[in-house]
């Protein structure tokens, strides 16, 4: 009886408008979020459905067969080799340059204006469309040596990788506690020794993660390779020759009228998406563990 008499106010529901607004927004937000999850699931499902059945050993070890020929082993081994070589070249350039730049930003710059500028430029660089990077590599390498080449492709990919390596490495270096650096300096270590023996060593898991993410990203890039490395039906013929890659192969074969080429495109997608998902999920686990331990 007390309950009803003294404060019935507390039990009155909100006004109809507010109630409708709250339930309505919840419904809309959850529907839209569900919609956001759909594409990834749909893409993965389709890759598994279309790509995995065709992913046989012969596909990984043979050259593309001429179209329309039956009973000839068909594959994209040259594209795998090409992607490995070009991502390798890109890594050779971007990893040292990227890590040194990150060391400067995290360890040497101490809030100087130039460091702010570099950080800003790196962020802008990460937003430059990959096709523009391809155009740049075309102008710098292809037009100069008068030909499409693995070198040009690797150069283009290195510019894609560079900002990713720099930003991830700087993040990892910033997570190293200052006290470790002070401790190292207090023991008489030089700056160089402190950076390499203490800071980099401590941040290594984070740096590795960042580098792997950059490698995964570069493996899937297509636009920068289209008119730098071009494509090739043959095995790798040297750094200055047109070179096949998985991504350009998927592009070429996706719009092909031949079903077996479409199938090869799906199978190559399994490999690329496999690499990308593995690296992303692994890095997620590594980073979240690091946060837990802190």
Partner 1 sequence: MTASPEPAKKSISRDMLQGVNLTGQEGNHSLVDQGFTWLVQGVSVSVVVILGWMSWVIFGQARPAIEQFGLGFLWTQNWDVNELVFGALPYIYGTLVSSAIALFIALPIGLAVAIVTSESFLPPWLRSPIAFIVELIAAIPSVIVGLWGIFVLIPFLQPIQQWLFQHFSWIPIFNSEPAGPSMLIAGIILAIMILPTIAAISRDVLIAIPKELRSASASLGATPWETTFRVLLPSAISGILGAAMLGLGRALGETMAVTMVIGNSDQISLSLLDPGNTIPALLANQFAEASDGLHIGALMYLALILFALTLIVNMIAIVMVKFLSANGQS
Partner 2 sequence: MQFSFHDSAINASSTSDLIPALRVKDLAFYYGSQKAIESVSMDIYQGQVTAIIGPSGCGKSTFLKALNRISELEGVVRVEGQVEFFGQDIYSRQVNLNRLRRQIGMVFQKPNPFPSSIYDNVAYGVRVFSRPNRVSLDETVESALRSAALWNEVKDNLSKSALGLSGGQQQRLCIARALAVKPKILLMDEPCSALDPIATMKIEELIDSLRHELTIAIVTHNMQQASRVSQYTAFFSTDESRIGQLVEFGATTQIFMAASQSRTRDYVQGRFG
**Does 6 help bind partner 2 (rule: CB under 8 A)?**
yes
Distance, first Cα to last Cα, the chain? 54
Backbone dihedral angles phi then psi of residue 241, each to the nearest 5 degrees = -110, 155
Q: Provide, rounded to whole angstroms, the least separation between the CB of residue 16 and partner 2.
A: 13
Kindly tell me which of 12 and 146 has the beta carbon lying closer to partner 2: 12
**Does 209 help bind partner 1 (rule: CB under 8 A)?**
no
The answer to whether 198 touches 189, Cβ cutoff 8 Å, is yes
Positions in 37-76 near partner 2 (CB under 8 A): none
Give residue for tokens 């592009």.
251
Q: Which of 185, 280, 282, 290 binds partner 1 (CB under 8 A)?
A: 280
Binding footprint of partner 2, residue count (CB under 8 A)? 12
Positions in 161-200 near partner 1 (CB under 8 A): 162, 166, 188, 190-192, 195
Binding window for partner 1 (CB under 8 A); candidates: 5-13, 77-85, 158-166, 171-179: 158-166
Q: How far apart are CA 141 and CA 212, in angstroms?
A: 26
Report which of 134, 140, 138 is spatially closest to residue 159, judged by C-alpha positions.
134
Q: How far apart are CA 77 and CA 63, in angstroms?
A: 6
Q: Which of 32, 69, 257, 259 binds partner 1 (CB under 8 A)?
A: 32
**Does 3 help bind partner 2 (rule: CB under 8 A)?**
yes
Burial of 81 (0-12, 13-18, 19+ CB in 10 A): middle
The answer to whether 240 touches 191, Cβ cutoff 8 Å, is no
Provide the angle, in degrees to the nearest 10, between the axes of the packed helices 130-137 and 150-174.
130
**Does 108 help bind partner 1 (rule: CB under 8 A)?**
yes
Q: How far apart are CA 37 and CA 7, in angstroms?
A: 45
**Does 48 help bind partner 1 (rule: CB under 8 A)?**
no
Can you read off the two tokens belonging to residue 180? Answer: 């470790």
Can you read off the two tokens belonging to residue 165? Answer: 């390596």
**Does 53 help bind partner 1 (rule: CB under 8 A)?**
no
**Does 7 help bind partner 2 (rule: CB under 8 A)?**
yes
Binding window for partner 2 (CB under 8 A); candidates: 1-9, 33-41, 132-140, 240-248: 1-9
Binding window for partner 1 (CB under 8 A); candidates: 4-12, 40-48, 71-79, 82-90: 40-48
Q: Which of 43, 72, 201, 204 binds partner 1 (CB under 8 A)?
A: 43
Q: Provide, rounded to whole angstroms, the least separation between the CB of residue 42 and partner 1.
A: 7
């Amino acid at each position: 009886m007390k309950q009803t008499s003294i404060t019935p106010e507390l039990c009155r529901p909100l006004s109809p408008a507010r109630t409708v607004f709250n339930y309505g927004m919840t419904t809309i937000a959850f529907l839209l979020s569900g919609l956001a999850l759909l594409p990834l699931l749909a893409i993965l499902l389709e890759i598994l459905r279309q790509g995995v059945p065709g992913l046989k050993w012969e596909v990984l070890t043979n050259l593309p067969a001429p179209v329309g020929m039956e009973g000839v082993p068909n594959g994209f081994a040259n594209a795998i080799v090409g992607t490995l070589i070009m991502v390798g070249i890109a890594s050779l350039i971007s990893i040292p340059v990227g890590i040194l730049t990150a060391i400067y930003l995290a360890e040497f710059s101490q809030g100087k204006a130039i460091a702010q500028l570099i950080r800003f430029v790196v962020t802008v660089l990460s937003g430059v469309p990959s096709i523009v990077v391809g155009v740049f590599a075309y102008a710098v390498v292809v037009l100069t040596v008068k030909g499409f080449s693995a070198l040009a492709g690797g150069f283009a990919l290195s510019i894609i990788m560079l900002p990713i390596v720099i930003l991830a490495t700087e993040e990892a270096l910033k997570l190293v506690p200052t006290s470790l650096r002070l401790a190292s300096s207090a023991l008489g270590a030089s700056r160089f020794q402190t950076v390499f023996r203490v800071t980099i060593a401590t941040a290594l898991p984070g740096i590795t993660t960042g580098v792997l993410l950059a490698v995964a990203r570069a493996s899937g890039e297509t636009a920068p390779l289209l008119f730098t490395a071009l494509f090739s039906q043959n095995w790798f013929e040297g750094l200055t020759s047109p070179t096949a890659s998985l991504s350009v192969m998927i592009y070429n074969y996706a719009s092909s009228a031949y079903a077996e080429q479409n199938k090869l495109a799906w199978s190559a997608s399994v490999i690329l998406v496999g690499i990308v998902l593995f690296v992303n999920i692994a890095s997620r686990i590594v980073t979240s563990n690091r946060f837990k331990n802190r």
